[in-house]
Structures are given as structure tokens and as C-alpha cells.
Structure 1
Amino acid sequence: MTTSHKKIAIFYTDHDDEWTDPYGNFVDMAQKLLNETKDHPSDVEYKMFHIYNNEFPTLEELGSVDEMGDSNYIGIFITGSRYDSFDQTTEWIIKFRTMLDHLLNDNDENNPYPPIVGICFGHQAIAKTLGCNVDRNPLGFEGGVVPIDLNETGQTIFGTTQLHLSEVHNDIVFDAPKEKGYMNWGSSDKCKIQGLYKEHKLLTFQGHPEFVNEIAAKGVEKTRAKLKGSDTKGINTDAQLDEMVANTKKYQNDGKLASSKIWQLFSQIL
């Protein structure tokens, strides 16, 4: 009897960019963090699907089982992206949300799809698929290492009252899903929906557990350069951006704690 390796599907929803050097792309950083925090056997395999390039798995593959009747995929990890999760014209984004709709809403004992983790764009695309309002943040860019106040759900998940995560985003989720079982777990000064949770099914992060502090600082500087000469209506002044960079030295990104909870979700114990 053969034993197949358990797989994690990584949906890469962007393309490589030199600003994340020397840490690699979003997939490289995600795999590094997951490898540093896993307590699983070494035969867990990461399978990357380049969603931006229209490389999609089939629903049949994601829901497939081995000869023992156990799922071949133990989890799905969706990366961040520079693109808008709420875009209504770009083919791959529309196709991606359609796939998410099946994975989230057809997920039952007859279609046992693996639990899903969404990071930044992934978090927003999931929320949009679940009927939430997702759009530009009227309070502007949120970056650096951000303190996140955890509500009762978040405290139960993470075992603390505050989480610090690297953030680089202009868009936010404005409201939690109305469907039963989905809960927001924390908020920051600029973003009230910092992540979503559904038992054994879903864990999302507006922040980037996989971004080390240096990458968070580089993300702020990348945004500063982009904003130069643009009309920001007084939002995101240089002083505010300076404070975001300072916070990458003041706080430590709690990526490993977040990643340990990702593994618990994939193990169906969260």
C-alpha cells in the first residue's frame, strides 16, 4: 500500500517584485514561516498554483482523498497581492472569487474541501465572496508592524490580548460576514476587521504573518514613494509614515504565533 504525502495548496495571487528582496516572493516567505513553525511530519508538500497566471486547481483535486479516505490536501493558503480583491473586470480575480464561492459555500460532508487561510488580498477576497463590503480605506494606508486588539474570539484563538503583525495595505473589509459561524477576531485603529475565523474552516489575516519587520518597513517606503506627488487629501503624511517605520523597530511581528494557529486550523483542532 502506498502512502501519499499530505499537501498544502498555496494560491499565489501576485507576481514577483524586487521590493521583497532578499526574502523572495510571497510564496517563499510563506513556506519559510510555515516550515519554521510546523510540528507535522516532513512529508507535508506545498503545491503552488499561480492564480495570477490563471493556473487554477480543479475543485475535484482540492477535494480528493487518498486510499484511506483522508483528504489529500490539508489546507489552502492564499497569499497577498498588489491587486484589488473587489475588482469586477479582471478575469483571473473574478474566476478566483467564483472558486472561493464553491470552496466556502459548497463545503460540507459531500464536498469536504480543506480549511482556508487568507492573507491580506486573500482575506479581502474571501470577505468579498462572503458578501462583505471591501474597498479603499478612507483612513488611508496602514503599514509597519501594527498592534491589533483582540476581541473574545481573538483571545481564544491566540491566547493573548494583543497581536502585532506586519501590514501593507490600502484596502479593508468594512463588515463581518452575516453567515453563521464567521467571526471577526481583532481590530486596529485603522482597520476594524483584522481577520475572520470559522471553526475548522477558515482563518484570515489582514496583516502578513510571513513578513519580517524589514519587509514591513520596506513596504512603507514603497508606499511613500508611490504617494509622492499624488493627492492624498491629508491622509498618510510623512510624519505618519515615519511612525509606521518606527513601529517596525518598536514592535516584533508575531508571525510565528499566527503561523502556529494556521497549522492548528490545518490540523482541524482550531
Structure 2
Amino acid sequence: MPHAPLRIAILECDTPAEKSNAKYGGYYGVFSKLLHECAQALNQPDVLHPESGLELSRFDVVTEQLYPDLDHVDAVLLTGSKHNSFENHPWILKLVEFTKKAIADPRVKILGICFGHQIIGRALGVEVGRNSAGWEIAVCDVDLTEKGREIFGVGGLKIQQMHRDIVFSYPPDVIPLGSSPRCDVQGMYRAGKFITVQGHPEFREDIVNEVVKLRAEAGVFDKEQAEDALSRAGRPHDGIAIGVAFLKFLLE
């Protein structure tokens, strides 16, 4: 008998830059592509069929501020965002409250990516904010803890990054997954509840290139920063391995 599909609600915390948005169809489209590729890479069609095994829904939590009914999903995924996870905009406060509710739910699991990772940290009561060490951009190395190596199935992670904000410390009862020279909290894990990463497993070279060029034009990145990031944007990374780890976690 086939397994029931995995019902994942994708909470869109932002809209990608113009070209990427048109190409992929929002962050919902970017994650949809990643998750289907990862279901294929998982290669367990009897457990999770690459086509019919995923039931993905999308919720605009910024403008429409819509949320799933937790009784009707198995997991929620909080995407990245250009917005600041530490600000008190009504939609961000609403997202933090919803995240607290999802963490308290005995059944629903959570995936947090970049801004989403920070929102989970904030929901658990730790400080999130600007990193004095500055930006991490494009493909970077992350050192993994023992648990991180076990979960992601690799010795160390290469992951696309695009952040200047961080979670400053690990909340209670959270297992650290990894760190980098610029950011101590690169991933958080609580068994049966959530996995988070500060990086972007869903980002592709074209998405990173577009963001870097726009931010360089806007003066957010200087010429040297932008050139360095563009030189690393196309490097191999572990986005698929991370996505496969997410799916295994959701199937547990």
C-alpha cells in the first residue's frame, strides 16, 4: 500500500529577486524544485515517491499573512528573507507566534532556512541580530558537529550563504549541528521537532548571482566582496544532501 504523501506547508517569508522570481515562481517554486530533486536523490520510491510523495502548499506570511492549519500538514518550512528576523513588524511577530505554536504541536515538524532558522531561535527565546563579523555570501564551508555529520551524511558542509544576521546562542534542549568562523550557530536540531540551517540549500548559482549583483549595485556589497562572492557562487555545494536529510527527518 503506498504511503500517504508528505504534506509540507512552505511559508514564504519573502519574494526572490525579479529574474529568479519569474524563473522559479517564488520561494515556493525554488523549494518545490529542491524537494522534488531530493525525493529523487533519496531513491526510496516505496517510502517517498518523487512525484506523488510530496504534497506542497504555499502561504504568503508577509503580505497576505496566511497560515496553514497544523492539523492538515505534517511539516512547515520557513524560508529565507531579506527582512530582519529581530524586527517587530506585525507580520514577523505573527510568524514568531505561529512558530511557537508549531514547536508546541506534538506531531508537526519544522524546517528553518536562514531567516526561518533565526525565527525558530527567536521563538525559543534566544537573541537574533546583526553579526559584527559581517556577511557570509555564496558557497562557504561549515564545520559539522558529530550530530551534524550524522544527519547530513557528510564530513563538512559546503552551502550557499546570504546573511548578515545570526542566532547568537543555542536555545536550551537544542543540539548544535555546525559552525563557521563567522557564525557559531549554523544549524539547530531537536529530535522529532525541527532541523534548521543558516545557509541556503535551495539557492542555485543564478539566484546567488542575481542577489549579489543587485546588492553590489545598491552599495550593500563593495566591489571586492561582490567579486569574491561571484567567484564562489557556482562552486559545488551540498544542497541536495541537506534536502535529503530534511526528507529523512520528516519521514522518521
Aligned mates of 1:240, 1:167 — CA distance in 2: 13
Residue 40 of structure 2 corresponds to residue 30 of structure 1: no
Residue 189 of structure 2 corresponds to residue 197 of structure 1: yes
Q: Could you tell me which amino acid in structure 1 is paired with residue 246 of structure 2?
A: I
State the Cα deviation string for residues 83-133 of structure 1 (Å, max 9, x = none): 111112x111101101111221x233xxx3x11001111001111111111
1:188 Cα deviation after fit = 1.6
Aligned mates of 1:81, 1:19 — CA distance in 2: 16
Corresponding position of 2:61 = 51
Corresponding position of 1:107 = 105
State percent identity of aligned pairs: 31
Corresponding position of 1:219 = 211
Residue 249 of structure 2 corresponds to residue 265 of structure 1: yes
Corresponding position of 2:230 = 245
Aligned mates of 1:169, 1:121 — CA distance in 2: 8
Q: Could you tell me which amino acid in structure 2 is paired with residue 76 of structure 1?
A: V
1:12 Cα deviation after fit = 0.8
Corresponding position of 1:148 = 142
Stretches of structure 1 that go unaligned for 5 or more consecutive residues are: 65-71, 229-235
1:43 Cα deviation after fit = 4.6
- Structure 1 residues 5 and 258: alpha-carbon distance in aligned structure 2, compared to 1, 3 A threshold: closer
Deviating beyond 4 angstroms after TM superposition, the runs of 4 or more aligned structure 1 residues are 3-6
1:5 Cα deviation after fit = 5.1
Aligned mates of 2:15, 2:210 — CA distance in 1: 17
Q: Is the 8 A contact 2:138 2:229 kept in 1?
A: yes
Corresponding position of 2:164 = 170
Aligned mates of 1:53, 1:240 — CA distance in 2: 32
Aligned mates of 1:117, 1:31 — CA distance in 2: 14
More strand by share: 2
Corresponding position of 2:127 = 133
Q: Could you tell me which amino acid in structure 1 is paired with residue 86 of structure 2?
A: F
Residue 181 of structure 2 corresponds to residue 183 of structure 1: no
Please, what TM-score do these two structures have when normalized by structure 1?
Answer: 0.82
Aligned mates of 2:191, 2:24 — CA distance in 1: 32
Residue 80 of structure 2 corresponds to residue 80 of structure 1: yes
Stretches of structure 2 that go unaligned for 5 or more consecutive residues are: none
Aligned-pair Cα RMSD in Å: 2.0
Corresponding position of 1:120 = 114
Aligned mates of 1:243, 1:17 — CA distance in 2: 20
Q: Is the 8 A contact 2:142 2:156 kept in 1?
A: yes
Structure 2 counterpart SS, 1:116? strand
- Structure 1 residues 127 and 91: alpha-carbon distance in aligned structure 2, compared to 1, 3 A threshold: same
Q: Is the 8 A contact 1:54 1:92 kept in 2?
A: no
Residue 198 of structure 2 corresponds to residue 206 of structure 1: yes
Aligned mates of 1:24, 1:190 — CA distance in 2: 32
Structure 1 counterpart SS, 2:160? strand
1:225 Cα deviation after fit = 2.1
- Structure 1 residues 19 and 193: alpha-carbon distance in aligned structure 2, compared to 1, 3 A threshold: farther
Q: Is the 8 A contact 1:145 1:216 kept in 2?
A: no
Aligned mates of 1:172, 1:125 — CA distance in 2: 10
Structure 2 counterpart SS, 1:167? strand
Aligned mates of 2:25, 2:140 — CA distance in 1: 22
Corresponding position of 2:238 = 254
Residue 145 of structure 2 corresponds to residue 161 of structure 1: no
1:185 Cα deviation after fit = 0.7
- Structure 1 residues 267 and 9: alpha-carbon distance in aligned structure 2, compared to 1, 3 A threshold: same
Q: Could you tell me which amino acid in structure 1 is paired with residue 211 of structure 2?
A: G
State the Cα deviation string for residues 55-74 of structure 1 (Å, max 9, x = none): 3336xx21x2xxxxxxx422
Structure 2 counterpart SS, 1:87? coil
Aligned mates of 1:224, 1:118 — CA distance in 2: 27
